[in-house]
Structure 1
Amino acid sequence: MNSLDQLAADPRIVMRNRAALDPRGRCVVYRMRRAQRALDNPALNTAIDAANALAQPVVVFFGLLARHPQANLRHYTFMIEGLAETARKLAQRRCGFVLRACDGANSADEFARFCSEVKPSLVVCDEDPGRRDAKWKRETILYPSAPLWSVDADVIVPSILLEKEQFAARTIRPRLQRRLPGFLKPVGNPLARVPWKAERKIKSQAVSAELIGCLHIDRSVSSTDAFRGGTNAALSALRRFVRERLGNYASDRNHPEVEGTSQLSPYLHFGQIGPHTVALAIQEAAAPARDRDAFLEELIVRRELAVNFVRYNPHFKTLKSVEPWARRTIRAHAGDPRAYLYTAGQLANAETHDRLWNAAQRQMVSRGWMHGYMRMYWAKKILEWSGSAAEAYDVCVRMNDRYELDGRDPSGYAGIAWAIGGKHDRAWGPERPVYGKIRYMSFASTSRKFASRAYIEQWSA
């Protein structure tokens, strides 16, 4: 078995076609999508290792969608800040970086044109749990002359090894724990032996703030100064969390007024930091074991349960994704009267009778991030104030994806499915109006669990 065969045997790698190596190939191309980083990136490492075995250079391609129906100035500012840093760090690893803005409809065509220019022996992509087989098949048809490998760089245990959708944390936890010793280890950051030498005919757009001005995106949701994009900012946030908040994580994580969480979700969503980097830092921290274990449960078990949900459930953006027991109780209570009904516009503007909910909405709209405990309450109340559970689900998805920096993420979709449809949960009794057997949260019970008055005052109008 040669070195490339050994590399291909890595369980993180999915072979998307069976093409032979192109003997005319001049490089290895890594099409970067979700894992937008040069540090601890298994997909980038696979491309570099393959290129070193072939004695060829590596070039990274990023197709920036010039039009996107959901993304906006907030998302693009954060992403481009990170990509500018990633381009510099790739150069330090002797890899090229090419960015081209393209419409969503022709992004695959643009990548195929790029491949025809650089002539890759092998193409590597990072896995996206939301991509279905049909999309992968279309891409292999567009550029069929080189093997296409996709690498799971977004999780610790490759999601393909779980084979099917898992019912709850209790079912995925033992499966992950059995495999963690083999995967929770330093990823490594090899250098490309053959440096990429940019050719003048290979066009690439400069990654800078000026690039945003060329994009046809929604500018009504402004960027936020609460988060700056990039791996360096992510590492700083991680170090700050370990130093200041990890030691009380188990007790403080559900206290929105003290923000006892890591606030790493935007960086994880854009792939500016990887789960291996975070998990290993937590394992090595001098915090109490109960706090480290509580955080790793969220980072590994809960987060990878969400990735599993999106990968194996094609209806993850709708109420169709929930379990039969939840659909039954939702149908049984569909006609229950609602004490309050709010339009999507009223919700977006935080114009409800509930001061706590309004505070959470304002935090999300102004900062691009909402505390995880408040996200649960936020979605539960939308269920209570909407004409139907399906409408509530849709409103939650649209607002989450519009305002949150980590919108369009598996964890967000799983959280909405849990809140509205009991996903990854169980039936609760006694039955309540509107909720039925879906777990209930109230203003009174939620407010008693933390200093809600301080939180409301912090995010008052």
Structure 2
Amino acid sequence: MLVNKKRIEKINKSQLKKGEFVAYWMQASPRLEYNQALGYAIEKANELNQPLLIFFLIDAKFPEAKTAHFKFMLQGLKELKTKLKNEDFNFYLIDYNKLEDIKQITKKASLLISEKAYLKHLRKWKNQVAAKVKIPFYLVESNLICPIEEVSDKEEYAAYTIRKKINKIKNEYLKEYQLQRLKNKNKIEFENKNLKFVKNLNQYLENKNFELQQDLSDHFRGGYKAAKLKLNDFLKNKLKDYEEKRNIPHLNFQSDLSPYLHFGQIAAQEIALAALNSEYDEKSFLEELIVRRELAFNFVYYNQNYDGSLKDILYDWAYQSLMEHQADEREYLYTYQELENAKTHDKYWNAAQKEMLLTGKMHNYMRMYWGKKILEWNSDPEEAYQWALKLNNKYSLDGRDANSYAGVAWIFSKHDRAWKERKIFGKVRYMNAAGLERKFEMEKYIAKINELTN
């Protein structure tokens, strides 16, 4: 099955050279299933009758990545390594040090392929590589259902503005996809000059002194196999009641697939098709998976200040409203350390923070409440935004993701509408403990989190 050409972008001007193999830099899609970047690499290898080199760069200095993030990623890579070996692919894991590593890896390649990037540090990395290598460099959209630039050529205002654009084209892309068979499986040998190959992933993790030595394996284990188990459980036991129960904190009627989507261990395309083929109503779930998720990617792609100043990401009414109420008296003010250690007066907020610390994921509804309180308990909305991002990126397995940046920005009104003006929040949406108690059995949520600490 051929990759849709609208998913493919050439990002440098180098021409095809007569090399020895096609190179695929696997970075955002470490999987075999529904991986159009790998699919395009196989297409080009077959077209040139050359073998395929797949390499994954493990960057120990990756921004904000901690032990739990690396462990989750490496668990997936360990499973993938076995699958690729069984399929006779040339696959190398490399301890990344500098750009020169990629130039050396691709020295004898005919061309280079990788996945589309959205966050600015990843876009910068791939653009630097494009300028460095002397071969064509293609990026393939493999982690979104609809190609981002096909949906829109600008930052969208809200879900209602992007929804109609996605719905107009999604049927062209929301289709089953299978890899072609790679014809040439000759072994590829290349110079081992200054490259550090990673052969033992467990040993690699032990040797690196990463910050935050927590183990979340009881709650989330990395890899496609674990992702499929989560997906099948969701479809069988949760999708039927998803609309009614997804916001109830003490229940877990969410898919729990966001960490796997973030690390590219399963494709949104595969998840969406599985939901469409289920016996239950999938509309509410697909609204989150496709419309809301792709709105988040639109945000970070077209607004590269997504982790910077609120002034550059919020609508004028929201930013002005927050600034006008900046001097409002707050009943409680907390330091970053007090928040990080769940040391506030609010037992529901503390429970949400502990859930994230202990499991690597917070219930989505509680994450909204959690963020609103960070805004309320800090007299500087700009600092509150940075604190919320920092905590989420540090402790959530699905942090450092387009969805995370958009989700935290939503707390400050991104993609939301104006509400009745009030103290501190101005016209930004407000949430409080009384609202939680009115809607949910919050003591059951507290008891659930307490069980995790015992």
Please classify the TM superposition score into its range, dividing by the shorter chain length: over 0.9
Alignment partner, residue 55 of structure 2: 61
Asked whether 1:158 is paired with 2:147, we answer yes
Corresponding residue number in structure 2 for 1:130: 119
Aligned to 2:158: 168
Answer whether contact 2:68 2:213 (CA < 8 A) is retained. Answer: no
Partner of 1:315: 305
Whether 1:18 and 2:7 are equivalent positions in the alignment is no
User: How far apart are 1:70 and its partner, in Å?
Assistant: 1.2
Q: Does 1:30 align with 2:24?
A: yes
2:267 equivalent to 1:274: yes
CA contact (8 A) 1:94 1:191 kept: no
- Which of 345, 350, 354 is equivalent to 1:358? 350
Is 1:213 matched up with 2:206?
yes
Q: What secondary structure is seen at the aligned counterpart in 1 of 2:64?
A: strand
User: 1:198 offset after TM fit, Å?
Assistant: 4.1
* Residue 387, structure 1, aligned to residue 379, structure 2: yes
Equivalent of 2:71 in 60, 77, 87: 77
The Cα offsets for residues 32-51 of structure 1, whole Å up to 9 and x where unpaired, read as 11111111101110101111
Work out the CA distance in 1 between the residues paired with 2:267 and 2:395: 23
Within the candidate set 156, 160, 168, 1:178 is matched to 168
Contact 1:85 1:230 in 2 (8 A): yes
Partner of 1:459, secondary structure, is helix
Q: Specify the SS of the correspondent of 1:122.
A: strand
Give the corresponding residue for 1:46.
40
CA contact (8 A) 2:10 2:138 kept: yes
Q: Which residue of 2 aligns with 1:89?
A: 83
Q: 2: distance between equivalents of 1:221 and 1:69?
A: 18
Report % sequence identity: 38
- Other structure's SS at 1:218 match: coil
Alignment-derived partner of residue 424 in structure 1: 415
Q: In structure 2, what is the equivalent of residue 348 of structure 1?
A: 340
The CA deviation at 1:215 is 2.2
C-alpha distance in 2 between matches for 1:271 and 1:99: 16
The answer for the alignment partner of 1:237 in structure 2 is 230
Work out the CA distance in 2 between the residues paired with 1:323 and 1:36.
36
Given the superposition, is the C-alpha separation of residues 143 and 282 from structure 1 closer, same or farther in structure 2, using an over 3 Å criterion?
Answer: same
2:322 to 330, 348, 355: 330
Runs of 4 or more consecutive aligned structure 1 residues displaced over 6 Å after TM superposition? none
2:444 — aligned with what? 454
Contact conserved, 2:76 with 2:222, CA < 8 A, in 1?
yes
CA distance in 2, matches of 1:380, 1:396: 9
Tell me which amino acid in the other structure corresponds to 2:202.
A
The one-letter code of the counterpart of 1:33 is Q
Q: Secondary structure at the match of 1:211?
A: helix
- 3-state DSSP of counterpart to 2:210: strand
CA distance in 2, matches of 1:398, 1:16: 31
TM-score (norm 2): 0.94
Q: In 2, are the aligned partners of 1:73 and 1:223 still within 8 Å (CA)?
A: no
The change in CA–CA distance for 1:301 and 1:207 in structure 2 (over 3 A counts) is farther
Q: Residues of 1 paired with 2:407 and 2:202: CA distance?
A: 32
Change (3 A) 1:210 1:305: same
Q: CA deviation at 1:452?
A: 1.0
Take 1:207 and 1:238, find their aligned partners in 2: how far apart are those partners?
29
What CA distance in whole angstroms lies between the structure 1 residues aligned with 2:101 and 2:191?
15
Q: Cα gap change, 1:196/1:391 in structure 2, threshold over 3 Å: closer, same or farther?
A: farther
Measure the CA separation in 1 of the matches of 2:438 and 2:142: 40
CA RMSD for the aligned pairs? 1.7
* 1:121 to 2:110 alignment: yes
Listed one character per residue, the Cα deviations across residues 201-255 of structure 1 (whole Å, up to 9, x for unaligned) are 5563215211112324214444442111000110111001101111100001101
- Asked if 2 retains the 8 angstrom alpha-carbon contact of 1:364 and 1:403, the reply is yes
Task: For 2:14, give the aligned amino acid.
Answer: A
1:62–1:99: 8 Å Cα contact kept in structure 2? yes
Shift of 1:95: 2.3
Partners of 2:91 and 2:59 in 1: CA distance: 16
Is the 8 Å Cα contact of residues 12 and 131 (structure 2) preserved in structure 1? no
Question: What stretches of structure 2 of length at least 5 have no aligned partner?
Answer: none
Distance 1:69 1:163, change over 3 A: closer
